[in-house]
Amino acid sequence: MRFTKLNRVAALAFALSLPAFSAALSQTPSNAFDGQWVLDVTASPVIAEEDSVCPAVRLPVRIQGGQLVGSLTQVPTITGGVEVEEGWGPRATPIIGSVGPDGAVQAQWENYHASGKLSGDSGEFTVQTECGPAAAHAMRVLP
């Protein structure tokens, strides 16, 4: 088989495009992790204040287009504890963060600084709290 100049150019163009095409296929779109998530942060045994520890907390998180969006507020419970809910009132604080195409997450809300990685519908994180680092698990609850 004889290659003409045009065939050689076409073959070279095809060969040069393969790595870029392969890289594009291997990257996850920025909306692959969109949805409603919960981040369960474990309790810390470190004493933060007099005779108290940092309790476990569940943080509701919404991801849209590779960004964490929304505001959270602490709500007192009947038993004297605190829950965190989505909210927009004067006591609500925005959650800030981003999700990379590979699922890497950096996020911040109040004294919580989280870093970790999402994969599919779950993820593992380390969260810096006022009591120090805590392990956390994320789970998508709604797409």
- Residue 124: the pLDDT is 98
Whole-number mean pLDDT of the chain? 81
pLDDT tens column, 33-67:
999 999 999 987 766 555 566 788 999 999 999 99
Domains in the chain: boundaries: 35-142
Residue 77 banded pLDDT, cuts 50, 70, 90: confident
Task: Please say whether the beta carbons of 114 and 105 come within 8 A.
Answer: yes
Reply yes or no on whether the pLDDT at 87 is more than 60. yes
- Residue 40: the pLDDT is 95
User: Which tokens go with 34?
Assistant: 């969109």
- Beta bridge mates, 8: none
Helices (DSSP H) in 51-116: which residue ranges?
A: none
- Residue 29: the pLDDT is 67
Task: Please say whether the beta carbons of 56 and 40 come within 8 A.
Answer: yes
CATH number of 35-142: 3.30.70, 1.10.3470, 2.60.40, 2.40.128? 2.40.128
**52 or 7: whose pLDDT is higher?**
52
Task: Please say whether the beta carbons of 42 and 134 come within 8 A.
Answer: yes
Cα–Cα distance between 133 and 87 in angstroms, integer? 26
- Residue 17: the pLDDT is 46
Cα–Cα distance between 35 and 26 in angstroms, integer? 21
pTM above 0.75, yes or no: no
Residue 122 banded pLDDT, cuts 50, 70, 90: very high
H/E stretch holding 6:
helix 5-26
Reply yes or no on whether the pLDDT at 68 is more than 70. yes
**What would the mean pLDDT of 18-33 be, rounded to a whole number?**
57
**25 or 33: whose pLDDT is higher?**
33
